[in-house]
Each structure stands twice: as C-alpha cells, then as structure tokens.
Amino acid sequence: MKRFYFLVFALLLSVTVSAQSRGLLLKETFDSTELPEGWRIDGHEENWSVSTSSKAGGDPNEMYLTWSPIFVDVSRLVMPALDFTGISSVEVSFKHFHDNYIGTNTIGVATSSDNGETWNVAWSQSYTAVQAFVENITVATSDMGKDNVLMCIFFDGDSNLINGWYFDDIEVIWQVETDAELVSIDTPTIVARGSQDLVFTVRNLGSEKIETFSVNLSVDYADGYETKTYNTNLSSFESAQFVWKDAFQAGVWGYDTPHNIDLYISSVNGGADEEASNNFKMKDIYVAMETSDRVVLIEHFTSSACVYPCAAVNEIMYSLATANEGKCSYVKYPIDYPSADPYCTEESLIRKSYYAVTTTPHIFLDAVSQGYGSATEETFEDALQVPSYQDVRGTFMVEGSTVKVIADFMSYAELNNVRAYVSVNEKITLKNVINDEEPFYRHVMMKMSGDAQGEEISIKSGEYQRLEYSLDMSSTFVEGMNDLEVVLWLQDYTTKEVYNSRFAYAADTHVYPVQNMMAGIGGDDLTLYVEWDAPEAGEPMGYNIYVDGILMAENYTELSYQTQNIAESMYSDGKFHVAEVVAVYAGGKTSVPVAKVIVNDWVGVKEVEETNVNIYPNPAKDFVKVSAVGGQMSVVKIYNCLGVLVEEIEVNSNEIEINTSGYSSGIYYISVEGNKSVKTERLIVL
C-alpha cells in the first residue's frame, strides 16, 4: 500500500509541476537511440548521433558530435521551443566530454526567437583538455521574455580538430530560492547480506545555499518513515553524496525478491522545498546469497596499423595480464583506426561503437575506460576489489573448423535481462602484422556469439543458465585451430556493468554442476544436512561443500553431507544461512556453484516432487488463504522480511485461512511444509 500511495503522490507532484511557472523547464537524458522528439540539428546533421556511451558523466546514452565528415562551420543541437514569457533569465546545465585531437575547440549556448534565423550567443568557451566537464550557465539574452524561444548548444570551428564531443543531461531551469534535487540512490542494485548503508546524491538547483536538509526513508512498504537531517554547504548547482549509515538490514529472505527503498527530501533549510517534484526516488535492491571471486575482463581496442603508442601499450598490458594470471580474462579487438587492422571484423566494430571508441589504443577494465593508454596495477587492483555476485564456468572443444562451447552463467542474486557473451580468440597471430615494431599479437578476437550483441538471459538466485554454441571458424581470420581460447562474461547491456568473466577450460567434457540440491537443519539433534544428485554428465573427482562461504569439506566423494558442529548455532541465531556445492573435476577444474538457503526444521526429501502452493489474495489485508495442490500441509510458518517467525500453525488439510488483520504492513514469507516437501512463497500485507 505504501508503494501505491507513493506513486499517487508522485503523479500528483508531476501534475502540480505542469501547472507551476517555475522550476525545471526542460530535461533531456537521451535515453532513446533516436534524437528526442522536438529536437533537431541545424547544420551538418550527419555528424550527430545518439551514442550508447556515457563519457560526459551521465548514464548511457548521450549525444555525440563526430569529426567526420569534416566541416569548418557552426553546427547546432537545437532544443524544443520554450515559453519564456515573464522570465528574464534561466539557468542551463549540461555535461560534456571534449575528446580533443589537436588545438583548441569551442562550444557555446545561444537562443533564437525567430525560429533560428538569428542566434544570440549567451555563453561560449574554448577547450583544449581531453576531459569531462559540467557547465552551469545563466542565459539572459534579448530573447528572454518571449513565448517561442529556441535554445541550442553549438560547436563553432574545424571538426577535424576533434575526435568527438559528447553531451548529456541537458537541463533548463527557472530557479527558485530553495530547490533540492534528489539525484539518485547510489547504493548498488545488488548487495551482500547484513547491515547496509544507503548512499544517495543531492544537488542544489536553487539560488540559495543549502545548509541543512532532511530526508524520509521507508523500507519494504513500512508504515511511516524514518527521518534524518544532514548539515551541508551546497552552493547553487553543486552536488554531493550522503550516507545513511545502517539504513536497512539486507536479509536472505529477500534474496529472490528485492528490498523496496523509498527516499524523499522532506525539508530544506528548515522549511518546505519550493520545487518538490524532484524530491523523491525509489529503488529495488536485491540481496546476494554469497559473493564470488572476481575475474577482471580486459577489453583492448587496437590496430596493427598503430605503431605509437600501441606497441608500448600492448607490451605493458601483456605484462599486467601475465602478473595477474587467473585474475583476468582478455579480449583484444582489432579495429579500423588509424587505419584498418587486417583482422578487423564487423564484430570488433560493434564493440567499438558500443563503447564509443574513437582512437587506439583504448583499454577497458570491466567496461571502465582506462583512457588512451595502458591500465596500471593500481587500477587493476581497484577493479579486482569490486564485489562480484556472479560466477561463470565453461568449456570448449575444437572439432575441425568448429568450436563447441558450453557455458554456465550463475548468479547469487536475482539477475534479469543481462547479456551473456562468448568470444573466441586466437592466442597468437602473425599475419595481421603491418608495422616493424611488433612481430605478433595476443588474445585477438576472431568470433563472438550473437553477432557481438550477446544473448539476453535471466538467472534466479543460486541457480545458473546454460548456453551452448557451435561456432564455425572457417570464414574467420584464424591462423591455427590449435591456438584458441574462449572468454565468457556477463554484462548489463544498458549500464555496461560487467558482473564477472572467465576463460573457458579447453576440455572434452563440460564441468557440469550438481543437480537437485537441498539443504536444511532437522532432527532432534539439530543436524545440518546437505544433499544433491550427481551432475547430469561428466565424472567429478569429488565435491566442495561451503556454508556461508566457508569450505566445510573438500573433494568430498559422497552425495550427502551432514554435521552437528555448527547446526545448533545456525538454527537459533535468527539469521539465514546458505549452503553451496561445487563439482570438482580432473586437473582442478570446477563447475559453477549451486546454492540454497538452509531451511530450519527441514523435513524435505528430494526424491519427492514439491507441492504447489497457492496464496490469495496477495496483497492481503484482513486474511489470506493458503492452499496446497496435490498434497497435504502439515505446518505453515509466517516470517517477516527480517526472517523473524511471526506465526506457526499446525495443519492437517490442503487449505487454511490465516487472519492477517493484526499484521503490520510489509513483506512476509509463508513457509508451507508437507509430508515430504517445503515450499516458501512471498506475501504482501497492506
């Protein structure tokens, strides 16, 4: 119910804003792949496009001005007409990235009240640095006060002097005195279990300095809000990040459903915010069951036509990758700059466009640009320290001119609509050498699955998705089929976040994971049981069993494991725990883990199919009915979102009605035990 009220409140605010005369008059983030409605290009339209990059500092996408075809002139990015009646000045804010080639280059902001016949310059600036900038400009031209005014960002000069120019997050604001904008909730979408800080960004869009503000927080539809006040010193258009320490507990009961975060700026400088439409944000945050070792994906754009500095960067990156063997995977894309590498392919150019690469060399560590030089050990270590909640394992086998790949993509948290990528590289190439400094090249991409676009998949918590490919290499530039490697990775196509990567094993048999795993604590003696079936194929040497990330048994040869050493403390500590099983194959090869939440009072027998459970109405208010299809219920337990047992009911039928009128609003979990199964379902109480 809380989320419903919040959405209604947001809608009312948006209606209010449309009727107000002050505040945010225009905001464009270029999220679409096309030029937004009402926008146009005035002069050299062919040089402009919407790029999937985020070089200006906003989220993908952004507007991109390229150098080709070359012109020496003015080119304008024109905004939709605005009504400035009664307005003497506005503030224009935007982000941009100047990708300089040589010399000095100029952009500016101008207005026109005669449909572009005459442009009045409000501001202009010249740049030499290759750098991202944020501009906040007061526009007070003679066009102010009129009712049909065009505004533009313009480039003025020789396009051959730039590699490109990127623009994003363009805003036109008629300032009020107090206007605090809640820009974003910055806590990651996936977090580990336990106490979590809430990180968020606030920007001052008003003319007065913000010295104090208060925010209200609601987690998981809770009735009422918690309030916290922050002292700050934000000048106009300045932004800062703030932290609410220990804002919520991320519990495993939410591993397959998100925690719902509602955040709202309730006051500014001790009073009401004059522009409340930008004061709220909502975010769903998923809880990971465990973490995985990160393997950093190095993506390297280069060309054998590039002598300096490509040769030096190639050698530095080889040394970096060698020093971090087992901690990184590597894909080198031959591209068409400064001229085409003989092994440049359409797939390389697709990845080049995806990252908005304009020159060589260009290095990315887990999709984070390292600029036009090599990555350093320090930046590599920084990338290695980013938590990963996903794991990847795969194998490949060469048969004639075909590479057969089997890959398992696993996630410890709910992961929806991500892309799985497979790249077949040649370890050493010789025939694309066209300069005297380098006799060969390493990790050269020869073919990618899905035409370099990846394959969209979704993964449930603790589970995996398997993809299989037969990639025909006969039409590629492969020099030797005995010199191949395969790189696997998971990536968010929109944000470009790389979740994890790995080199696949060269093996005749895939590293198949275990099947039908279950874990629980049961019996009068409180014993931890972990059971599983052998993999569907392959012959593992044994199994590694983990509990809460701690190795409990290594190369274990049975299909069930039990212990009393930790079961009692786990049963009574009020927390939730996770068991994992990894299949171990010859040569130290391992499968992806299979993970399960450890169930208390476990009565499950894995040979028996789970009973289907229906709960309705959901959301519930005064009551909820629980029914079992194809079986009898013995015990029904209701837990709150923190995993605390709220109610336990003994049942001897296939349906029960539970009175929820005394429950607080929020998320609950109904655990239904049958004679030989346990099923858990989510319930929302209004």
Domain boundaries, the chain: 2-10+177-287, 23-174, 296-506, 515-600, 612-685
Cβ–Cβ contacts within 10 Å for residue 115, how many? 10
**Which residue spans within 307-459 are E strands per DSSP?**
328-334, 362-365, 368-369, 390-399, 402-411, 415-429, 441-448, 455-459
Residue 144: pLDDT band by 50, 70, 90 thresholds? very high
Domain 515-600 in this protein, CATH class: mainly beta
Cβ–Cβ contacts within 10 Å for residue 166, how many? 24
DSSP assignments along 82-105, one per residue: B--TT-S-EEEEEEEEEEESSS-E
The pair phi, psi for residue 275, each rounded to 5°, is: -125, 95
Q: What is the mean pLDDT of the chain?
A: 91
- Residue 37 vs residues 46, 58, 114, 494, 576: alpha-carbon distances, Å: 18, 20, 20, 21, 50
CATH number of this structure's domain 2-10+177-287? 2.60.40.10
Q: Which CATH architecture best describes the domain 23-174?
A: Sandwich (2.60)
Amino acid at 98: H
Render pLDDT for 295-336 as a digit per residue (tens, 0 to 9).
999 999 999 999 899 999 999 999 999 999 999 999 999 999
Render pLDDT for 628-656 as a digit per residue (tens, 0 to 9).
876 778 888 888 766 678 899 988 888 89
The helix-helix angle for 377-384 and 310-323 (nearest 10°) equals 50
Distance CA 596, CA 545 (A): 12
Q: Which CATH architecture best describes the domain 612-685?
A: Sandwich (2.60)
Tokens of 393: 């394992």
Is the CATH number 3.50.30.60 carried by domain 296-506? no
Average pLDDT over residues 145-166: 97
Summarize the chain as % helix, strand, coil (round to 5): 10, 50, 40
Residue 681: pLDDT band by 50, 70, 90 thresholds? confident
Q: Do 515-600 and 2-10+177-287 fall under one CATH topology?
A: yes
**pTM over 0.85, yes/no:** no
Render pLDDT for 492-508 as a digit per residue (tens, 0 to 9).
999 999 999 999 999 99
Distance CA 68, CA 76 (A): 16
The answer to whether the CB of 510 falls within 8 A of the CB of 517 is no
Radius of gyration of the chain from Cα atoms?
29
How much is the pLDDT for 576?
79
Average pLDDT over residues 593-606: 75
Render pLDDT for 500-550 as a digit per residue (tens, 0 to 9).
999 999 999 999 999 999 999 988 889 999 999 999 999 999 999 999 999
Percent of the chain past pLDDT 70, that is, above it, reads 93
